[in-house]
Amino acid sequence: MAIHAFAFHRAPCLRAAAIALLIGSVQACKGQPELLREGSTGGIPLPKDSTLARVALGDIAGSTRNTLLTSIKNPYEGNTGAIEAGGELFVRMNCVACHGYDARGGMGPDLTDTYWRYGGSPAEIYKSISEGRPQGMPAWGAMLTSDELWKLTAYVQSLGGSFPAALAEQGKQGNLGATLDTATGVLKGRQSEP
């Protein structure tokens, strides 16, 4: 069995506490190693954790417009090699067991439609994978690198249910359908069953 190596570095306690405060979760700083977030294996610059931490959860935000949400893009979006690598991670990390081999859901939600409990823009998907979500989604940030998380995000984006960062606001407002119709010709969120 191949052993997977993680890149860790010790983060200052203060920084971890500040992130915890910003994302609204209750986390004690116990000096755990924090993942290295900057720079991918292929030299592609990745968004910084400190920036991502300021992206609020899609379902509880809304009183103010969060421009970050629409400006953070997945550096691997549409990158064939990264999508393939993300697809392999989707299998290896047991994502398939909950979300399905076809990602159409099972124990966990469907990832191919436009209904996103915690937001369907790249930054929101990244955060959901990294931080985990309350109804059983594990926090993969504890065992995957930033680079791998963005590749997983690229794979999820390739499934067609997510939407580009630029449409994050429309997604929140429930106005996604028409926009996507032009972009992809598909109104997945509003399809009728046969």
Partner 1 sequence: MQPVDNPSIRIAFRSLISLVFAGAAVTACTTHEYPGRRANDAGDSSGVSAAATSSTSTPAGENVTGATAPTGPGWGIPADGDWTTQGRDYANTRYSPLAEIDTSNVSSLRIAWSFNDGVLHGHEGTPLVANNTMYLVTPFPDIAYALDLTKPGAPIKWTYRPNPSPIAIGKACCDVVNRGWQLADGKLIYNLLDGHTVAVDAATGKELWRTQVYDVTQGVTMTMAPVIVKDKVLVGNSGGEMGVLGSLTALDLKTGKIDWQATSTGPDSLVKIGPDFKPFYSWMQGKNLGETTWPAGAWKNGAGAVWGWITYDPDLNLIYAGTSNTGPWNAQQRPGLNLWTSGVFARDPDTGMAKWAFVFTPHNEWDYDGVNENILVNLPINGKQRKVMVQFNRNGFAYTIDRATGEVLMVSPFGHENWASGIDSVTKMPIVVPEKKTEVPGHWVRDICPADIGVKDEQPAAFSPRTGLFYVPVQNICMDYKGREVSYIAGTPYWGADMTRHVGPGGNYGEFIAWNASTGKKVWGIPEKFLVYSGVLVTGGDVAFYGTVDGWFRAVNARTGKILWSQKLGSGIIGAPMTFRGPDGHQYVSVLAGVGGAAMVTKAMPGFPARGGTLYTFALDSSIPAQGAQASQSSASSNGAPAKEKR
Which residues contact partner 1 (rule: CB under 8 A)? 1-2, 4, 91-94, 96-102, 104-108, 134-138, 143, 194
Q: Which residue has the tokens 């506490």?
A: 17
Nearer to partner 1, 15 or 117 (CB): 117
Yes or no: say if 7 and 36 are a contact pair by the CB < 8 Å rule: yes
Cβ-based nearer residue to partner 1, 64 or 193 = 193
Number of H helices and E strands in the chain, helices first, is 9, 2
Residue 148 CB contacts under 8 Å (≥ 6 apart), including other chains = 85, 86, 89
- φ/ψ region of 117 (left if φ > 0, alpha if ψ in -120 to 50, else beta) reads alpha
Query: What's the CA gap between 34 and 11, in Å, rounded?
Result: 6
Can you tell me which residue has the tokens 């598909």? Answer: 186
Output 99 or 172, the one with its CB closest to partner 1: 99
Least Å from the CB of residue 155 to partner 1:
15
Choose between 106 and 177: whose C-beta lies nearer to partner 1: 106
Question: Scanning the structure block, which residue is given the tokens 């994502």?
Answer: 95
**Distance in angstroms (rounded) separating the CA atoms of residues 111 and 157:** 9
Token pair belonging to 65: 């417009």
Q: Least distance (Å) from partner 1 to the CB of residue 166? A: 30
CB-nearer residue toward partner 1: 94 or 175: 94
